[in-house]
Amino acid sequence: MSDTVIVNEVGLRDGLQNQPRLVPVEGKLAILEALIAAGVKSVEATSFVSPKAVPQMADAGELFARLPRDRGVAYAALVPNEKGYERAVEAGAKTIALVLAATETLNRKNINMSLERATEVNIAVIKRAKAEGIEARSYISAAVGCPYEGGVAPEVVFGLTDRMLDAGADEVAIADTIGCGNPAQIKHIFSTLAQRYGPEILSGHFHDTRGMGLTLTWAALECGIRKFDSSIGGLGGCPFAPGASGNLATEDLVFMLNESGFECGIDVTGLRAAVKVAEEQTKQKLGGRVVAWLESQERRKKAAASAAAE
C-alpha cells in the first residue's frame, strides 16, 4: 500500500462558504498563495452555486479565471447542478465535484431537491462531464449522520456510491458533514467500499466537531484510503447543516501524516504561515490543535536559549 497521501485543501470553498465576513478575490488568492508555498498541490477552489444562497461564492467565475496555472496545482470546483457545471467549465474547470446528501431532508435544505431527484441530477452531470472530458468527483455527504434525520444506515451510502460510480464518477468522497461519526462506522464504510471498488477511487472528508477528525482519518487510512480533504486553520461549516462546525484542520492532518511516516509533500511551518493569512482575511482566530502546541514549543526553546545566554 502506498505511503503517499493526497491532502485536498477545501478551505477556499468549504472553509469560507459559511463565514460571515466576505473575503474578496484578492484575499482568497492570498490564502491560496500561502497554501501553495507550503506545498499544497490539490485545491477545491470555489463552488458555482447561487450567489443568493451562498454570497461568499458569488465571485466563483472571477476567482477560477485568476487561479495560478503554472504552479503544478490541481484545482476543482463544486457544482450543484447542470447550470453550475456549465458555469464552472466555462471558467476553465477541468475537475468538478458534486454533493449528494444521504438523506431526504438535507438534500431539500441544501439544493431544494428530493433525494431521488438529486441523485438523478448528479448522475446526469457526471455522465455529461465524462462525455466532455471533465473529471467528476462525487461527495456522499452526511454519510454517517444527518442534522435533521439522525443516523444514516451504511447500506444507503453503499447504494448511492454504487450509483455514482456506475454513472462514471472518477472518485467518491465519503463525507461526515457534521462530524458525528465514530471510527467503527468509518472503518466499516471504507473497508466495505474498498473491497468492492478498490481504495484508490475513494477519499475522506471529515469535520472536527467532536475532535474526532484525525481518529476518523486514521480509521480510513487503515482501509487503504490515501486522499483526504482538510481546511486551513479548521475553517468550515455548511450553511445548510446545523452543527457542522469546522473541517479537519489541514495543519493537524499534515502533522499527523508527517509524524506517522506518510508522504504528502506539505510543510507544517508553511501551513502555519497560511493560517496567519487566513486569519487576516477572515478577521478571526484560526488554527488546529497542533498550532498551539507548536507555539508552546517555540516559547520553551526561546526561554531556554535566553536562560543559557544569561
What separation in angstroms does the CA of 166 have from each of 59, 68, 95, 115, 170? 33, 33, 18, 17, 10
pLDDT of residue 1: 56
pLDDT at 238 (0 to 100): 56
138 within some domain? yes
| pLDDT value for 244 | 53
Q: What is the full per-residue pLDDT of the chain (310 aa) written as tens digits?
A: 579 999 999 999 999 998 889 999 999 999 999 999 999 999 999 999 999 989 999 999 999 999 999 999 999 999 999 999 999 999 999 999 999 999 999 999 888 899 999 999 999 999 999 999 999 999 999 999 999 999 999 999 999 999 999 999 999 999 999 999 999 999 999 999 999 999 999 999 999 998 999 999 999 999 999 999 999 999 986 555 554 567 999 999 999 999 999 999 999 999 999 999 999 999 999 999 998 888 888 788 777 777 777 7
Which residues have a catalytic role annotated?
238
H/E segment holding residue 28? helix 25-38
**Contact (Cβ atoms closer than 8 angstroms) between residue 122 and residue 164:** yes
Digit-coded pLDDT (tens) for 158-217:
999 999 999 999 999 999 999 999 999 999 999 999 999 999 999 999 999 989 999 999
Q: At what angle do helices 289-309 and 250-259 cross, to 10 degrees?
A: 70
Are 291 and 275 a contacting pair, CB within 8 Å? yes
Domain count, the chain: 1
- Contacts of residue 291, Cβ cutoff 8 Å, sequence gap at least 6: 249, 251, 272, 275
Here the cell at position 58 is: 458569488
Q: How far is CA 81 from the centre of its chain?
A: 19
Measure the CA–CA gap between 151 and 267, rounded to whole angstroms.
37
Contact call for residues 212 and 180 (beta carbons, < 8 A): no
Let me know if residue 189 belongs to a domain. yes
Q: What are the two backbone dihedrals, phi and then psi, of residue 139, each rounded to the nearest 5 degrees?
A: -85, 130
CATH, residue 164: 3.20.20.70
Residue 1 lies in a domain: no
**Residue 165 three-state SS:** helix
How much is the pLDDT for 237?
60
- Tens of pLDDT along 143-161? 999 999 999 999 999 999 9
Looking at residue 245, its pLDDT comes to 61
Q: Is residue 200 part of a domain?
A: yes
Q: Are 119 and 58 in contact (CB under 8 A)?
A: no
Cell of 209: 466537531
Read off the C-alpha cell for 75.
484545482
Q: What is the pLDDT of residue 167?
A: 98
The end-to-end CA distance of the chain, in Å, is 52
Q: For residue 29, give its domain range.
A: 6-309
pLDDT at 241: 53
Which amino acid is present at 155?
E
Bridge pairing between strands 145-146 and 74-78: unpaired
Q: For residue 296, is it within any domain?
A: yes
